[in-house]
Structure 1
Amino acid sequence: MTTGGPARRWWLFWLYTLLVIGAGIGLRDPWPSDEPRYTLAAQQMVSSGDWLFPHRGSELYADKPPMLMWTEAASYVVTGHWRIAFLLPSLLSALGCLWLVYDLGRRLWNPRAGAYAAAAMLMCFQLMFQVKRAQIDPLLMLFVTAANWGMLRHLLLGPNWRAWWFGCFCAGLGIITKGVGFLPLLLLLPWLLGRRLGFQPLPAAGHGTALRWWGGLLAVLAAVALWLVPMLLGARRHGGDPAYAAYVHDILFHQTADRYAHSWIHRQPVWYFLPVVLLNWLPLSLSYPGTLPRWWQALRERDARILLPLGWLLLVLMFFSIPSGKRDVYIMPAVPMLALISGPYLEAILATRWMRRSCKAFVAALAVILTVGGLYAWLGHPHAVQHLSVERGFGQDGDSLWWMVIGLGLGIGLIGWFGRRQRPEMTLLAAWGLIWIGWGLWGYPLLNSSSSAAGLMSEVRNQLGPEDQLGLVAWKEQNLLMLGRPATDFGFSRPEAEQFRRGIAWQAADPAHRWLFALDEAVQPCLDPQHAIALGHANRRDWWLFRADAVRPGCEPASSP
C-alpha cells in the first residue's frame, strides 16, 4: 500500500464502506423488536445517572448485560442526538472488524490478501443487514474478532504475549456483552491439533511460560470483573429489594447456562445453520466452490494459517447447533474468520470464468427479483401484499415502498448492463452499494413513522394537554421511547390484566387529568369505544387512548387469567 495507486484504492474502499454502512444514520428512530429496548435502557441510564442496572420503564432489564446500552449512552453523551447515538456502536464495530481482518490478513499473508479479506466481509448479506441495525451482535462480533486477532497473532506469528493477553481481555469483554464471548478460546483446540500433526507456522512458546498462558485467564476475568464486581456490590447495596437479587440470578444463570441447555425460544432443527451459511452469507458464499478445494489443499500442506480459523469456524457452528434454540445471527461472529481465510484466494478465484459468471448472474438475479417483485406488489396488490401493508401500518407509504423496490431493481439492472464488460467484482460492489445506500437514504425515512411508533406516539402527544398525565398498559419499548414526555407504567413483564387493574386504580386518583394508553387485547371487553380514542394499527397491534369514563365498571379484561 505504499504506491499511489494502491493507496488511493484503499482510501476509496474505506469511503465505500463508510457510505454503505453509515448511509441513513440520523434518518430514523429505533425499530422493533430489539432496538427500542436497548435504546430505552440507554436513555434511562443517561436521564437517571444509573448506568449499572439497566431499566425498562420501572422494571430492571436482565435479559442482556449492559455493554450495548453503555455504548449507546456514551455515544449520546458525545453526539447529543439519539438518532445518531443508537446506530453509532454498530457502525464503529463494523469498521473495527474490517480493520482487524485486513491487518490479520496482511500479517499472515500480504496486504493484498488482507484487502480482499476485508472486502469479502462486506459481501455478506447477514452481516450488512445486522451492522445497519442497533443490536448486540455487531458489538459482540467486534470483541470476538479482536480476541481472534490477538490470539492468532500469538499462536501463528508469536510468541506475542501482549497480543495473547489482549485477545483474552477482548474475549472477556465479549462475555459481558452477550455471554458467548468466550468462543475465541476455542482456537486452542485446533492449535493443539495442529501442533500434534506438525502444522506450520506454530511457533514454540518457550520454556517457563505457564504463568504467561494463565495470564490469559486472568485477562478474561479482569474484563468480566469490570462489570461483574460493581454489579454484585450494587445489588448488595439494594439487599432489601428482591428485584435486584432476581436480576443477579437471571442475568448470571437463567439467561446464560439455562438458555443454552434448555432453550425455550427459537427452536430449530440441528441442520438449521446449513442454509444460513449458503444463503444468508451471499454473495460471499458464491466463492465456496473456489475456496473449499484450496482450503483442503492448504490443510494437506499443513498450513496452520487455514487450520486455526477454519477449525474455529467449524467449532462455532457445532457449538450453536447443539441446543434446540437457534437464530441465524448467532453465527455471525464467524463471518470475519471466513473472510480472512477467503482473502488469500479471492484474486485468483475472481479471475476464473465460473466466478465471473456467478457475479454477473447474482447481480442480474437481484435486479430481476427486486424489479419484478416490486411491480407485482404495486400493480397486482395481491392479498399477501395488502396484509403486509396493514400489519406493518404502511398506509399510504405502501406504494412508495414498492416504488423504492422497483427503483433499486432498475438501478441494479443498469449497473449490470453498463458494467457487463468491466471486472465483475466491481459491478458487484456497485450493485451491493446501491442496495444498502438506497435502503438507508430512501427506506429509512419512508418507513420510520410506521416502524418506530413515531407516528403513533405523536398522535398520543397531540391528544394530551399540558396538565395531562399518561399511564401505559401492555406497552412496548418503542411506545415509551418515542413518547417524548414522562409517563407512568405498571410494569412490563407483569401480566396484562394486572397492569390494567393497576392502571385503572392510578387513573381513578385523578380522572380529569389521567389517561391510559393500552393495547387493544389488554382492555377488551372492558373498554367502551364510544368514549375512547382509537389510535389505529401500529407495530402489528391496535391501540387505544382513554380516560376513566371509557372503562366499564367492574369489568375484568379478557387477558385476565
Structure 2
Amino acid sequence: MFIRLFPANGCAMTTTLRHHLILLLTCGCVFFLNLGAARLFDEDEPKNAECGREMYERSDWVVPTFNYELRTDKPIMLYWLMLSSFNLLGVSEFSARLPSAIMATVTVLTVYQIGWRFFGQAVAFWSSIILSSTMMYVVSGRISTPDATLIAFITLSIFAYIRLQPVGEKGWSQPESAAWPKAYLPANFSGYVLLYALMALAVLTKGPVGFLLPCSVIGLFLMCRGQAPHAPQDLSWNRPLQSANELVNYLAAFITPSRFFPALWAMRPFTILLVVGLVALPWYITVGWMTNGAWLEGFLGSHNIGRFSSAMEGHSGPIFYYVIAILMGFFPWSVFLPVTLYLAASQRHRFEKDNQGLLFLLCWAGVYVGFFSIAQTKLPNYVLPCYPPLALLMGWTLVRWQEGSLTLPNWSYIWGARSLILSGLALIIAFPIVSYILLPGYWAVGLVGCLPIAAGCWMLTQNQLMNRKQILKGIGVCSIAFVSTVFAGITPWISQAQESSQLGLSASRLSDSSVPLATYQYFAPNLPFYAERPVLRHHSSEEVAQFWKEHPDGVLCVRDQELSQLDDVMPKDVVVMEKIDRFLRPYQIVLLKRRSTAPRTAAQPSVESVIR
C-alpha cells in the first residue's frame, strides 16, 4: 500500500513526510555533521578503525587483526561495513564512522515506525527525537564501534515481530484468537525467517547476544500474556521475610515449566538455530578454520563467557551500575526517566489501546538492563539496545501528558526543569576549573551549559503559561542543539590535543610507512592507525637496544620521564624529532630517531636536541 505524501489539494506536506524530513535533518545534525573532524577517541574506536584499515590494506574480508595481530574482541559485521566504506571513500575517520552514523539513523526511523504502530504518529515522532538527542546514543552513532549496528539490527528484528502482530480496535497485539502462545507469534514460516535472519545479522555484529536477548524479550512478553499469575500487591518493607517469600512464590509461578516450555516451543527454537546458522555460521566456521580455532576460543571464551562470569579489564560495578549509567547516558532527557517508568508501569491499564505496547517496551528494556546488571563486566554501552524502548516509553508519557490524558506530577516536572538548570550551571562552573588543571585553553567549552539552562528555564516559563504544546518543542530544540554542539563542535576541537594521534601523524610525516615504529613502556591504540604501520611494544632496555640494532632507521616513542632508563642503550646519534604534551596527563611523549637517518624536512626543528 502506497503512502499518500500530499493531501488532495497537493500543497501542504502530510504529517508523515514532514516528520521524516525533520528526523532526517535531525540525524544529519547529530550524526553526520563534522563526523570526520574529530580524531579517533578512547580505546575501542581506534582499535576497530585500525582493524578495518589493516583488513582493507591486505584485501582480507575474513580475519580481523589489530596492530597486525589477531583481534578476537568483535565479529565481522562492523569490519565489513567499514571495508565497504573504505573502498568507496578511502581510509579516514569519516569513512570509519560512516557505517555507525547510517545505522543510528536507521534505528531512529525504525523507532518511528514502532511508535506509530503502538501509539500513533505524535508519540512516534517525539520518541525518535528523544532517541536521536540523548548523549550516549549520539556517541554510538558517531564512533566506529559495533554498538550502533547492533542496536539497528536488534531494533529491526523487534520491529519485524511487532509488524507481524495484528492491530485491531483494541490496539496492538490483541488477537481475536485466544490460543496462547501461537496467537502472539508470526502466522507463517516466512515471518519467523525474517525475524531470525535479522537477529542473525546481530550475531555477526556482537555474537550470541544478538539473538539470545531479543528472543528473551519476545519470550518474556509471551509469558506476560499467558494468564500470568497476579503480582503480589501487599509487599512491605515492614515485613521483609513475608514479602520476599511472596515474591519468590510469584516468580516460581510465573516461570513454571507448564508456561515456559510452551512459549519456548511456540517460538520454534529449531528454526532459530537453522536461520541463525545459515546466516552467521559460514563466517564463524571460516574464521575458525583460518585461525586454527584461535579466534573462536578468544571470542566465545574470553569475550562472552569470560565477560559475563568475571569483571574484565577492571570494568566492574555494583548491581545498580546501569541505573546511574542510563541516567547519565540519556541526558538531557533523563530528567523525565524515573517518572516515565513509574507512569508507564502503573498507568498502562488505563489505556486499553496502548496497554500491550507499553508492556512489550517494559519487557524489552527490562531484559537488557536485568541481564547486564547480573553480568560481572559492566560498561555503559552494553545497555544501549534498551535506549529505543526507553525513548518510546518517554515519548508516550510526554505526549499523553501534553494531550491531557496523563497526569505528570508537578513536583517531578519542576524537579526535571531545575535539574537541567543545575546541570548547565555545573558545566559552566566546573569545566573552566578542569580546563585550568588538565586542558589549558579549553575553558570556553563550559559555555555549552547554557543550553540545558535554556531548556530548564523554558520548561518553567511555559509551565506557568500552561502552554504544554510548546514545552516539548523547546526541549527538543535545546537537546538537539546541545548534542550537536558537544559532538560536532567541541569534540573535534578537544580531540586535537590527543598526543597519540599527533605522534602517529608525526611518524607518518617524518618517515616512510616501511620504517619500523616502536614504543617503550607506552602505547595508545591510535598509533597504528595514524602511523599506518605496526607498532612494536617494548618493556625493557634490552628490547630497546635490540630494536636499534635491528632497525637503525627506526622511530621510538617514549615518555620523557623514562628517558633516563635508556641511557645505557641509547645510540649516541639519537635525536628528538618531536615532543608532544600528553592528553590529560603530565609529562611529554618524545619521538626519537637516529641522526644519521633523520630526514631534513621543512617541519623539522633547525636545532636538534641530542640525547647523551
TM-score bracket for this pair, using the shorter chain length: 0.7 to 0.9
Q: In the superposition, relative to structure 1, how do residues 108 and 411 fare at CA in structure 2: closer, same or farther (>3 Å)? A: closer
Is 2:348 the partner of 1:298?
yes
State the alpha-carbon separation in 2 of the partners of residues 161 and 337 from structure 1.
Answer: 27
Q: Kindly report which structure 2 residues correspond to 1:172-187, keeping only aligned pairs within 5 A, or say none.
A: 172-179=200-207, 180-181=209-210, 182-187=212-217
SS in 2 for 1:346: helix
Letter paired with 2:426: I
Q: In 2, are the aligned partners of 1:90 and 1:133 still within 8 Å (CA)?
A: yes
Q: In the superposition, relative to structure 1, how do residues 135 and 152 fare at CA in structure 2: closer, same or farther (>3 Å)? A: same
Corresponding residue number in structure 2 for 1:557: none
Corresponding residue number in structure 1 for 2:523: 475
Letter paired with 1:277: I
Relative contact order (alpha carbons < 8 A, sep ≥ 6): 1 or 2 greater? 1
Q: In the superposition, relative to structure 1, how do residues 89 and 358 fare at CA in structure 2: closer, same or farther (>3 Å)? A: farther
Q: In 2, are the aligned partners of 1:23 and 1:436 still within 8 Å (CA)?
A: no
Which one of 582, 587, 599 corresponds to residue 538 of structure 1?
582
Q: In the superposition, relative to structure 1, how do residues 141 and 524 fare at CA in structure 2: closer, same or farther (>3 Å)? A: farther
Corresponding residue number in structure 1 for 2:473: 426
Which one of 397, 407, 416 corresponds to residue 345 of structure 1?
397
Which one of 264, 268, 274 corresponds to residue 317 of structure 2?
268
Shift of 1:103: 0.9
Q: Could you state the TM-score of these two structures normalised by the residue count of structure 2?
A: 0.74
Corresponding residue number in structure 2 for 1:278: 327
The structure whose Rg is larger is 2
Q: Could you state the TM-score of these two structures normalised by the residue count of structure 1?
A: 0.80
CA deviations 1:348-393 (Å, max 9, x no partner) are 224658376466445534543333334xx2xxxx5x544422xxxx
Letter paired with 1:369: A
Shift of 1:404: 3.2
Q: In 2, are the aligned partners of 1:472 and 1:516 still within 8 Å (CA)?
A: yes
State the alpha-carbon separation in 2 of the partners of residues 543 and 214 from structure 1.
Answer: 56
State the alpha-carbon separation in 1 of the partners of residues 380 and 557 from structure 2.
Answer: 35
Corresponding residue number in structure 1 for 2:232: none
Q: In the superposition, relative to structure 1, how do residues 119 and 282 fare at CA in structure 2: closer, same or farther (>3 Å)? A: same
Corresponding residue number in structure 2 for 1:394: none
State the alpha-carbon separation in 1 of the partners of residues 529 and 488 from structure 2.
Answer: 23
Give the fraction of aligned pairs with identical amino acids, expressed as a percent.
18
Is 2:446 the partner of 1:405?
yes
User: Quick check: 420-429 or 79-88, which moved more?
Assistant: 420-429
Is 2:107 the partner of 1:97?
yes
Shift of 1:184: 0.3
Corresponding residue number in structure 2 for 1:233: 289
Q: In 2, are the aligned partners of 1:125 and 1:282 still within 8 Å (CA)?
A: yes
Is 2:416 the partner of 1:388?
no
State the alpha-carbon separation in 2 of the partners of residues 368 and 211 from structure 1.
Answer: 51
Q: In 2, are the aligned partners of 1:471 and 1:503 still within 8 Å (CA)?
A: no
Q: In the superposition, relative to structure 1, how do residues 195 and 2 fare at CA in structure 2: closer, same or farther (>3 Å)? A: farther
Q: In 2, are the aligned partners of 1:37 and 1:477 still within 8 Å (CA)?
A: yes
Q: In the superposition, relative to structure 1, how do residues 273 and 548 fare at CA in structure 2: closer, same or farther (>3 Å)? A: same
Corresponding residue number in structure 2 for 1:39: 49
State the alpha-carbon separation in 2 of the partners of residues 160 and 516 from structure 1.
Answer: 63
CA deviations 1:426-448 (Å, max 9, x no partner) are 11122112222222442244223
Instruction: Specify every segment of 5 or more residues in structure 2 that has no aligned partner in the other structure, as ranges.
Output: 8-12, 166-172, 174-183, 230-261, 597-612
Is 2:307 the partner of 1:259?
yes
CA deviations 1:185-222 (Å, max 9, x no partner) are 102432332332279xxxxxx9xx96966323322222
Q: Kindly report which structure 2 residues correspond to 1:403-552, keeping only aligned pairs within 5 A, or say none.
A: 403-406=444-447, 408-410=448-450, 420-421=461-462, 423-451=470-498, 453-461=500-508, 463-464=510-511, 469-473=515-519, 474-484=522-532, 487=533, 489-490=535-536, 496-497=539-540, 501-502=542-543, 504-509=545-550, 511=552, 513-518=553-558, 525-527=565-567, 531-533=574-576, 535-539=579-583, 540=585, 542-547=588-593
SS in 1 for 2:518: strand
State the alpha-carbon separation in 1 of the partners of residues 120 and 455 from structure 2.
Answer: 31
RMSD: 3.4
Q: In 1, are the aligned partners of 2:107 and 2:156 still within 8 Å (CA)?
A: yes
Instruction: Specify every segment of 5 or more residues in structure 1 that has no aligned partner in the other structure, as ranges.
Output: 200-205, 236-243, 390-397, 551-561
Size of the aligned set, in residue pairs, is: 508
Corresponding residue number in structure 1 for 2:272: 216
Q: In 1, are the aligned partners of 2:103 and 2:149 still within 8 Å (CA)?
A: yes
Letter paired with 1:435: F
Letter paired with 2:545: I
Corresponding residue number in structure 2 for 1:240: none
Is 2:199 the partner of 1:168?
no
